[in-house]
């Protein structure tokens, strides 16, 4: 009996607390940057497409809602020919972001993606690719990878020695 | 059997094997790099360290390399010993010091043995603070991509390429921590087995260059067990598809046929499936119609009667059988050149006669004296050449038995053997790539080759060449005679059989195409008879099944056939001369889009299954024919809907095919109630790949023809061998996972090998063709023999861009003497009523009076070769 009365009292007190509910959409919520909402593809600090089409996000996705196809430019830089996320399936778990070795795919605090037609929730690369590095500034995968691409020869990546001279006779 | 102790538990082990091999067979997870089941051990990588103890009392023990230690009776080792674990972790750490940060863009990723072993040993953090060593890559041709930074110096590549496959242009260079694996300079890899580097290399140094153009990870590919369609050996393959196109082919182990390796034609020929020449629409007199209308047209033609069918040695048994059913046995004609058909029939008779045993490729590998009679094996049945290369090692290895070196101790064996080779004799009109391992080579015209082989059968005089060959084979334990249809010479076929019989040797024939044996077994008239039937008015409609008749008979004859036929129907994959002349063209599924059975050169029936569902109106030939039969009111066709129904009907109609159904489990086969999934369980993107078309996922397609499902869901254990779509095991993502599927390393797959031999010896052997007269050169003429090219001579792989880029153009091969007499870079030759001016290719060693032209390469298609060619200016 006593506990019931105490509960009623506490519920009553809550009526005077500050509200957490906000009047969305007139009022926008402030969400932390690591909130897991809409997914974007970012660019590296030099403005290049970050995604290297490694398929890791796709394989990590528990609902298999990411599909892409890798291709390469003439210099050997790999990127996705198409990149599709079916947001009507996405559960915003963030596994793709965790799997991504290049920081390309990121979940951002934008969650308002309601559509009348489910088909409109299918996003292609044009819809996903933003013009900046997103949450992670500074990182450029190609600067650490060993493969040669346009503008970066062998031995020019971070912590790389110049290519071995096979003709040298020095011991 | 010996008893060995692993972490104090006793196990049975074969003492002739090494500890690594035994541990892996027993299912232990012991990491390794340099050891390869087919290449043996060299102890180069130090990754397979275990601790060995003297006896039960020994607590200290010492680290040994499992791959270099025999599994002798009483051996006590520990895999889990902390020192061993630590040692193995340190080895990986060392290998990773210079390893590039490439996995995301490395084509090996997801099926990388180095990734697997790194995870297995638990190494996860690079502590080395200094710079990474880097290398420049090389251009190695259209098949193999090179990314040298990823090398871990296991030496597998050069050991395969040089020691096993006999290649010379790949080697290791430089020294200490900068050893480099590549060519002396950029250039196309010369060996026709270079593609195996992709699987042999445990890292991403060598990767599939054709896959790179439409790169897909292993986990995203849809696989099915398949059979290579590019020669008569029937190597087992595992093609992978994604988004409705074929992406690559990898080896599917079969202990008796291809073992661990494929040839490059088999690996890269697949690209024809994606060719722009693919027929995807039904056309009637040039206009596109829909599939139903196509069936309607075909059924009208069938119902009208007077129809003949021309089968194909590159179509499955089932497709050929359905054509035979549709037109009636009397109206079915085998779609091979007439002399070729006679030859293949005779070969089957010989194989069935029991004159000699029919070896598998594995038997060929173990042969210890070989006589190759007039067949350019490297170019007509490449994988067999790789087996033959191993055969010359058998006698030398036996001769060092007293040194008691285990055969798996590869370096020691090679050091002891040096360059010694067992007896290997070749008779061929032109130099072949196997000449380098031959004891003696005989260059002769086709008839003279036959004479030599007849002589070998009778020979007693050890001083004549024939006598030496006879003696070598007679003294061998497992002698072998190899011949085939390459030179299109009945006497050669006969002589090879005589020689094999007289010397007690096994006898292997190379046949022209993937299902030549199957088609010849099915029966049917010759092409000449088909042409006669049409010319005489007995037939009005000709149905051509997966066959370009312009490759089977002279163009004039085929033109005449098409002119006199009222209607021509062609079912095929690619646009060709025949489909261009056909009124009705039906797009036929390739090997990768259909299921069926091929019979290889040993008479082994093997099933291949559909890998993916193609775009467009493409259907299996047998379905087009069956639908048309039904539409024409032939209710018996109802039972021919599913593959199993067709195979059953085939066995009933032609009892020699009664056992074809044993080649693989039927469609109703289930494992704990489930089908076998074609896709790995981590197949990605299934709710997105079609979402651009419609966001509601369609139901996965059904497969009524097999126990395989177009899905990632299904039975997760090991299916029976004919149904294994791909090799994968937990912790083993690379092709090395195969170890988990074998009864013992390099032995048969668990559940027994697939395929069923259809030819049962019946002891009815009798000789036919006699000894031909000696070859007589003619004045002003040369006998043009077909010169085969692994890349270019085969019809379908010719349309694969990578293979095509290595195919030669037309040429005229002349001996240096003839070329000198001619004195020009081009020559004019008349053959079959046509004159061609062609560039001259000088081939030294061509016998007098003999010249060569490339086989299967226009304009020399449809000609019956060898044939006499007239030169305007030639002595
Ligand atoms: S994980 Fe990252 S880099 Fe890889 S495909 Fe996905 S977005 Fe691209
Ligand atoms: S070889 Fe293996 S470990 Fe090395 S980059 Fe390629 S996938 Fe990664
Ligand atoms: S290239 Fe590959 S196979 Fe050759 S040594 Fe390096 S890692 Fe081994
Ligand atoms: S040897 Fe013949 S069957 Fe084997 S892979 Fe090569 S072409 Fe295919
Ligand atoms: S596998 Fe034993 S040392 Fe390499």
* Least Cα separation, residue A93 to chain B (angstroms): 16
* Least Cα separation, residue B660 to chain A (angstroms): 39
Probe residue for ligand 5, chosen from B65, B92, B153, B411 as the CB with the greatest number of ligand atoms within 8 Å: B65
Which of 3.40.50.10860, 1.10.238.10, 3.10.110.10, 3.30.70.3270 would CATH assign to domain A32-134?
Answer: 3.30.70.3270
Question: Which two three-digit tokens encode residue B870?
Answer: 């007239």
Cβ < 6 A, ligand 1 pocket: A 51-57, 68, 99-100, 102, 104-105; B 104
pLDDT tens per residue across span B627-674? 999 999 999 999 999 999 999 999 999 999 999 999 999 999 999 999
The 3-state DSSP class for residue B38 equals: coil
The whole-angstrom separation of Cα B741 and Cα B112 is 18
Phi, psi dihedrals of residue B10, rounded to the nearest 5°:
-80, 140
Q: How many CB atoms lie within 10 A of CB B431?
A: 17
Instruction: State whether residue B212 sits within 8 Å of chain A by CB.
Output: yes
> Are A54 and B105 within 8 A, CB to CB?
yes
Atom of ligand 4 nearest to the CA of B227: 3
State chain A's maximal CA–CA distance in angstroms.
Answer: 94
CATH architecture for residues B781-871: Beta Barrel (2.40)
Probe residue for ligand 4, chosen from B271, B314, B383, B389 as the CB with the greatest number of ligand atoms within 8 Å: B383
Measured in Å, residue A47 CA sits from the centre of ligand 4 at 47
Matching residue, tokens 């940057």: A33
Q: How many CB atoms lie within 10 A of CB A139?
A: 15
> Is the shortest distance between the CB of B227 and ligand 4 below 6 Å?
no
Instruction: State whether residue A154 sits within 8 Å of chain B by CB.
Output: yes
Q: Are B345 and B399 in contact (CB under 8 A)?
A: no
Residue ranges matching CATH 3.40.228.10 in chain B: 341-511
The whole-angstrom separation of Cα A92 and Cα A34 is 12
H or E segment to which residue B410 belongs: helix B410-417
Q: Residue B754 has what pLDDT?
A: 92
Picking from B102, B178, B682, the nearest residue to A59 by CB comes out as: B682
**Pick from B365, B381, B485: nearest CA to B433:** B381
* Residue B146: strand pairing partners: B206
Instruction: State whether residue A139 sits within 8 Å of chain B by CB.
Output: no
Task: Say whether domain B2-96 belongs to CATH 3.30.70.360.
Answer: no
> Are B688 and A164 within 8 A, CB to CB?
no
* Residue B246: strand pairing partners: B241
The whole-angstrom separation of Cα B355 and Cα B466 is 20
Q: Residue A169 has what pLDDT?
A: 78
H or E segment to which residue B24 belongs: helix B19-25
Q: Are B63 and B46 in contact (CB under 8 A)?
A: no
Phi, psi dihedrals of residue B20, rounded to the nearest 5°:
-65, -50
Q: How far is CA B158 from CA B171, B191, B303, B406, B509, in A?
A: 6, 12, 61, 21, 31
H or E segment to which residue B852 belongs: strand B850-854
Instruction: State whether residue B693 sits within 8 Å of chain A by CB.
Output: no
Confidence (pTM): 0.95
Residue A88 is given by DSSP the state T
> Are A54 and B243 within 8 A, CB to CB?
no
The 3-state DSSP class for residue A129 equals: strand
Residues of A in contact with B700 (CB under 8 A): none
Q: How far is CA B609 from CA B228, B306, B316, B681, in A?
A: 11, 34, 11, 19
> Is the shortest distance between the CB of B263 and ligand 4 below 6 Å?
yes
Residue ranges matching CATH 2.40.40.20 in chain B: 781-871
Picking from B105, B684, B696, the nearest residue to A78 by CB comes out as: B105
Residue ranges matching CATH 3.10.20.740 in chain B: 2-96
The whole-angstrom separation of Cα B357 and Cα B374 is 19
Interface of A with B in 75-134 (CB under 8 A): 78, 84-86, 88-89, 101-102, 118-119, 121-122, 124
The 3-state DSSP class for residue B295 equals: helix
> Are A118 and B695 within 8 A, CB to CB?
yes
ipTM summary value = 0.93
**Pick from B683, B748, B797: nearest CA to B236:** B748
Instruction: State whether residue B185 sits within 8 Å of chain A by CB.
Output: no
Burial environment of residue B537 by CB neighbours within 10 A (0 to 12, 13 to 18, 19 or more): exposed
Confidence of residue A20 (pLDDT cuts 50, 70, 90): confident
> Are B688 and A55 within 8 A, CB to CB?
no
Stretches where chain B sits below pLDDT 50 are none
The whole-angstrom separation of Cα A165 and Cα A148 is 17
Closest residue of A to B204, CA-based? A147
* Atom 2 of ligand 1, residue of closest alpha carbon: A100
> Are B217 and A162 within 8 A, CB to CB?
no
Burial environment of residue B717 by CB neighbours within 10 A (0 to 12, 13 to 18, 19 or more): exposed
Picking from B101, B135, B173, the nearest residue to A145 by CB comes out as: B101
Residue A154 is given by DSSP the state T
Question: Which two three-digit tokens encode residue B376?
Answer: 């350019």
> Is the shortest distance between the CB of B155 and ligand 5 below 6 Å?
no
**Pick from B31, B26, B34, B27: nearest CA to B50:** B31
The whole-angstrom separation of Cα B818 and Cα B865 is 20
Instruction: State whether residue B682 sits within 8 Å of chain A by CB.
Output: yes
**Pick from B660, B683, B320: nearest CA to B523:** B320
Instruction: State whether residue B501 sits within 8 Å of chain A by CB.
Output: no
How, if at all, do strands B812-814 and B834-842 pair?
A: parallel
Closest residue of B to A123, CA-based? B692
Instruction: State whether residue A55 sits within 8 Å of chain B by CB.
Output: yes
Domain residue ranges of chain A, discontinuous segments joined by + = 32-134
H or E segment to which residue B829 belongs: strand B826-831
> Is the shortest distance between the CB of B228 and ligand 4 below 6 Å?
yes
Phi, psi dihedrals of residue B313, rounded to the nearest 5°:
-75, -5
The 3-state DSSP class for residue B831 equals: strand
> Is the shortest distance between the CB of B511 and ligand 4 below 6 Å?
no
> Is the shortest distance between the CB of B231 and ligand 4 below 6 Å?
yes
The 3-state DSSP class for residue B836 equals: strand
The 3-state DSSP class for residue B85 equals: helix
The whole-angstrom separation of Cα A105 and Cα A125 is 11
**Pick from B319, B304, B317: nearest CA to B633:** B304
The 3-state DSSP class for residue B22 equals: helix
Probe residue for ligand 2, chosen from B31, B96, B102 as the CB with the greatest number of ligand atoms within 8 Å: B102
**Pick from B120, B158, B129, B23: nearest CA to B77:** B23
Q: How far is CA B560 from CA A35, B339, B541, B610, B630, in A?
A: 75, 20, 14, 37, 31
Instruction: State whether residue A160 sits within 8 Å of chain B by CB.
Output: yes
**Pick from B422, B419, B436, B438: nearest CA to B373:** B438
The whole-angstrom separation of Cα A106 and Cα A86 is 15
Topology (CATH) of B341-511: Dimethylsulfoxide Reductase; domain 2 (3.40.228)
Question: Which two three-digit tokens encode residue B782?
Answer: 């040369």
Q: How far apart are the first and last CA of chain A?
A: 91
The 3-state DSSP class for residue B33 equals: coil
The 3-state DSSP class for residue B628 equals: helix
pLDDT tens per residue across span B246-258? 999 999 999 999 9
């Amino acid at each position: 009996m006593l506990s019931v009365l105490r509960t009623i009292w506490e519920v009553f007190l809550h009526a005077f607390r500050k509200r957490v509910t906000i009047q969305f959409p007139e009022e926008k919520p402030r969400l932390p940057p690591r909130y897991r909402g809409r997914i974007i593809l970012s660019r590296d600090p030099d403005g290049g497409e970050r995604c290297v089409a490694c398929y890791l996000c796709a394989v990590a996705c528990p609902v298999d809602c990411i599909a892409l196809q890798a291709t390469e430019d003439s210099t050997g830089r790999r990127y996705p020919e198409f990149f599709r996320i079916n947001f009507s399936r996405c559960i915003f778990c963030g596994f793709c972001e965790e799997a991504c070795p290049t920081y390309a795919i990121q979940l951002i605090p934008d969650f308002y993606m309601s559509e009348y037609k489910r088909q409109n929730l299918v996003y292609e690369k044009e819809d996903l690719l933003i013009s900046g590095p997103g949450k992670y500034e500074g990182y450029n995968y190609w600067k650490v990878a060993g493969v040669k691409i346009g503008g970066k020869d062998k031995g020019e990546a971070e912590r790389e020695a110049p290519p071995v001279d096979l003709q040298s006779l020095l011991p | 059997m010996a008893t060995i102790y692993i972490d104090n538990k006793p196990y049975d082990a074969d003492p002739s094997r090494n500890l690594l091999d035994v541990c892996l067979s027993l299912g232990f997870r012991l990491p390794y790099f340099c050891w390869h089941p087919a290449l043996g051990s060299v102890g180069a990588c130090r990754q397979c360290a275990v601790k060995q103890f003297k006896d039960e009392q020994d607590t200290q023990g010492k680290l040994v390399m499992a791959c270099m230690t025999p599994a002798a009776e009483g051996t006590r080792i520990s895999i889990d010993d902390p020192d061993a674990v630590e040692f193995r972790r340190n080895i990986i750490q060392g290998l990773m010091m210079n390893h590039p940060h490439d996995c995301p863009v490395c084509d090996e990723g997801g099926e990388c043995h180095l990734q697997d072993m790194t995870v297995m040993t638990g190494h996860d953090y690079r502590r080395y603070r200094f710079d990474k060593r880097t290398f420049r890559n090389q251009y190695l041709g259209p098949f193999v991509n090179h990314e040298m930074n990823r090398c871990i110096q296991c030496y597998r590549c050069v050991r395969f390429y040089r020691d096993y496959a006999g290649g010379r242009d790949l080697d290791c260079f430089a020294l200490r921590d900068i050893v480099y694996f590549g060519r002396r300079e950029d250039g196309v890899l010369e060996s026709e087995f270079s593609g195996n580097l992709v699987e042999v290399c445990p890292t991403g140094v060598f990767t599939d260059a054709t896959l790179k153009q439409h790169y897909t990870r292993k986990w995203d590919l849809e696989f099915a067990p398949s059979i290579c369609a590019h020669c008569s050996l029937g190597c087992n393959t595992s093609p992978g598809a994604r988004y409705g196109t074929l992406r690559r082919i990898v080896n599917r182990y079969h202990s008796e046929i291809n073992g661990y390796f494929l040839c490059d034609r088999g690996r890269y020929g697949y690209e024809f499936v994606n060719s722009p020449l693919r027929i995807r629409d039904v056309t009637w007199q040039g206009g596109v119609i829909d599939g139903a209308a196509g069936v309607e047209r075909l059924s009208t033609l069938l119902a009208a009667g007077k129809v003949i069918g021309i089968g194909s040695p590159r179509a499955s048994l089932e497709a050929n059988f359905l054509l035979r059913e549709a037109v009636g046995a009397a109206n079915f004609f085998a779609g091979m050149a007439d002399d070729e058909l006679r030859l293949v029939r005779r070969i089957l008779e010989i194989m069935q006669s029991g004159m000699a045993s029919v070896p598998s490729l594995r038997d060929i590998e173990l042969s210890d004296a070989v006589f190759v009679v007039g067949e350019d094996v490297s170019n007509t049945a490449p994988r067999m050449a790789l087996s033959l290369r191993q055969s010359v090692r058998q006698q030398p290895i036996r001769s060092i038995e007293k040194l008691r070196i285990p055969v798996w101790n590869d370096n020691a064996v090679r050091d002891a053997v040096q360059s010694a080779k067992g007896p290997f004799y070749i008779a061929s009109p032109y130099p072949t790539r196997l000449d380098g391992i031959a004891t003696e080579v005989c260059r002769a015209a086709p008839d003279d080759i036959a004479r030599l082989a007849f002589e070998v059968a009778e020979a007693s005089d050890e001083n004549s060449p024939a006598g030496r060959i006879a003696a070598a084979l007679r003294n061998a334990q497992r002698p072998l005679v190899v011949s085939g249809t390459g030179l299109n010479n009945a006497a050669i076929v006969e002589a090879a059989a005589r020689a094999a019989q007289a010397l007690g040797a096994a006898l292997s024939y190379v046949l022209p195409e993937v299902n030549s044996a199957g088609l010849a077994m099915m029966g049917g008239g010759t092409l000449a008879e088909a042409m006669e039937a049409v010319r005489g008015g007995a037939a009005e409609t000709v149905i051509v099944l997966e066959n370009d008749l312009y490759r089977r008979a002279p163009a004039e004859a085929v033109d005449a056939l098409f002119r006199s036929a009222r209607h021509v129907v062609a079912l095929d994959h690619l646009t060709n001369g025949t489909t261009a002349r056909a009124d009705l063209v039906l797009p036929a599924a390739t090997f990768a889009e259909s299921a069926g059975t091929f019979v290889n050169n040993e008479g082994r029936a093997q099933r291949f299954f559909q890998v993916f569902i193609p775009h467009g109106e493409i259907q299996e030939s047998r379905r087009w024919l069956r639908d048309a039969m039904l539409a024409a009111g032939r209710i018996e066709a109802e039972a021919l809907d599913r593959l199993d129904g067709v195979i059953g009907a085939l066995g009933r109609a032609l009892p020699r095919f009664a056992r074809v159904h044993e080649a693989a489990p039927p469609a109703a086969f289930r494992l704990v109630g489930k089908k076998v999934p074609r896709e790995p369980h981590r197949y990605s993107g299934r709710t997105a790949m079609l979402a651009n078309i419609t966001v509601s996922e369609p139901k996965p397609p059904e497969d009524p023809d097999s126990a395989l499902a177009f899905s990632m869901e299904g039975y997760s254990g090991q299916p029976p061998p004919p149904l294994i779509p791909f090799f994968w095991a937990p912790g083993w993502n690379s092709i090395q996972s195969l170890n988990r599927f074998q009864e013992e390393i390099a032995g048969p797959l668990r559940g027994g090998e697939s395929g069923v031999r259809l030819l049962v010896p019946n002891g009815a052997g009798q000789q036919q063709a006699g000894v031909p007269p000696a070859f007589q050169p003619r004045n002003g003429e040369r006998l043009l023999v077909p010169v085969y090219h692994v890349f270019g001579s085969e019809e379908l792989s010719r349309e694969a861009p990578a293979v095509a880029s290595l195919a030669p153009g037309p040429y005229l091969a002349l001996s240096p003497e003839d070329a000198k007499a001619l004195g020009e870079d081009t020559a004019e030759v008349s053959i079959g009523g046509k004159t061609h001016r062609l560039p001259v290719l000088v081939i030294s060693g061509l016998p007098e009076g003999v010249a060569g032209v490339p086989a299967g390469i226009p304009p020399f298609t449809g000609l019956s070769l060898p044939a006499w060619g007239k030169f305007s200016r030639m002595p």
